[in-house]
Each structure stands twice: as C-alpha cells, then as structure tokens.
Amino acid sequence: MMLGGQELRRVDVAAGIIWRGDRFLAAERPSGSSHEGFWEFPGGKIEEGESPGDALAREICEELGITVTESVFWQIIEHDYPERGIHVRLHFFHVRRFEGEPIPRENQRLRWVTTEEALALNFLPADHRILAQLNALRLI
C-alpha cells in the first residue's frame, strides 16, 4: 500500500465487539504502548497462517483471560496510520458468548459501555466508523 510515495506495511488485525446485554467491552491502550490512552475494541494481530477467527480467540484469551464461545464475522475496515508507516485491515467480529470474566492482563483499563457512551471516549481513528455504525443500529 502506497501513501504519498511511502510504502505502508499492511497489518491484519482481529477485533472483537464483546457484548454483555446492550453494552460492549472497551479497552484503553496502556501507557508505553503505541497510541497510549486511546480506547479500542479488544483484539490483536493475525499471525501468518492464522485465520481471523482463530486470531480473535487467541488474542482475547491472552489479553482478557476469557474464552470466546460464539463469534460472528461482521466486516473489514481499513485505515492508514502514515505516522507509523502502517495500513491496518481490521476484521471485526461480534462476540455474543464467552466464558470467564474479562481481566486486564496487559495493564489496560476496561469498561462496559453503551454505543452512546463509547462516542464520548477517545477511540482509535480506525474504530470511528464502527462506532458510528453501532450507534446508527441502536437508533433503528
């Protein structure tokens, strides 16, 4: 992927919209991480040879200590972070069932939020379109 003559490295990420009733889990990136202080949907990089669904289950277990028991692929969102030299492809899943209670294993803050509450948080730019879509669905 090229942007202004600069080659952007593509990164594929699996992200989960983990639901509990009408709220979903938001995670704040910890200090010392890239984009620290921004909120995001839990997940992480898809490793070579790994399916997005398998990456989601692995990352959620590593980050939060829960086991995904039901997830449904929703959509892919692409976003450029030229300041980091990356083009991100986010594979979003709705997670409706999981086992365990989420705990912040990577020093991140966690909050269960409604879509309306999430709009007031400082989410990563790549997540803005997802938040707008979730909020629009809530209003239908």
Structurally, the chain folds into a number of domains equal to 1
Mark residue 55 as left, alpha or beta (left: phi above 0; alpha: psi -120 to 50; beta: remaining): alpha
Domain that holds residue 32: 2-139
pLDDT tens digits, residue range 80-111? 988 889 899 999 999 999 999 999 998 899 99
Residue 127: give its domain's CATH number. 3.90.79.10
pLDDT at site 1:
54
On whether the pTM is more than 0.75, the answer is: yes
Per DSSP, the residues of 82-140 read TTTTEEEEEEEEEEEEEES----TTS-EEEEE-HHHHHTS-B-GGGHHHHHHHHHHHH-
pLDDT at residue 126 above 80? yes
